[in-house]
C-alpha cells in the first residue's frame, strides 16, 4: 500500500494588526488527507482518509514576520508541522493509514435485515 499525504492549510485566522504588522496569522485550520495510490474501492476510486483540526501559532515574537500577501501554503504547512513536531505528524499519518486499512479490510460491517 503506497499512501501519499496532502496538507490543506489555506484557511487561517489573523489579527488585523499586531505589533505594527497587518494580517498576522495566529491560527491555522488544517486538513490532512491520505490517499492510497495502490488500492481502489468498488467504484475504482483510490481509498482516502482525512483528519482535521486547528493549530495555534505563537505570535509573541514575530521578528521574522512575512506579509500575508507573500505567504505560501508551504510556509503555513511548515509552521503547523513545527508546532506539532515530527512524532505527532507521524502519528497523524499512521492514524490515517489505519483508517484506510480498515476501509480496505473492515473488521465490522453494518447490515439491515429486511
CB contact at 8 A, 58 and 26:
no
Does residue 5 carry a pLDDT above 70? yes
Residues 66-87: tens digit of each pLDDT: 999 999 999 999 999 999 999 9
63 confidence band (pLDDT: 50, 70, 90)? confident
Residue pair 55/8 in contact by the 8 Å Cβ criterion = no
Q: Tell me what pLDDT residue 64 has.
A: 87
Q: What is the pLDDT of residues 12-59, one digit of tens each?
A: 999 999 999 999 999 999 999 999 999 999 999 999 999 999 999 999
Strand partners, 36: 3
pLDDT computed for residue 100 by the predictor: 97
CB under 8 Å to 103, separation ≥6 — which residues? Answer: 41, 47, 49
1 pLDDT band, cuts 50/70/90, is low
60 C-beta neighbours (distance < 10 Å), count: 6
Amino acid at each position: 500500500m503506497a499512501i501519499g499525504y496532502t496538507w490543506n492549510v489555506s484557511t487561517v485566522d489573523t489579527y488585523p494588526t499586531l505589533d505594527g504588522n497587518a494580517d498576522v496569522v495566529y491560527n491555522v485550520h488544517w486538513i490532512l488527507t491520505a490517499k492510497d495510490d495502490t488500492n481502489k474501492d468498488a467504484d475504482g476510486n483510490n481509498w482516502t482518509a482525512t483528519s482535521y483540526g486547528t493549530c495555534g501559532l505563537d505570535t509573541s515574537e514575530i521578528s521574522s514576520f512575512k506579509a500575508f500577501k507573500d505567504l505560501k501554503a508551504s510556509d503555513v504547512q511548515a509552521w503547523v508541522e513545527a508546532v506539532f513536531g515530527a512524532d505527532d505528524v507521524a502519528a497523524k499519518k499512521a492514524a490515517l493509514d489505519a483508517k484506510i486499512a480498515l476501509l480496505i479490510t473492515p473488521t465490522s460491517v453494518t447490515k439491515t435485515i429486511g
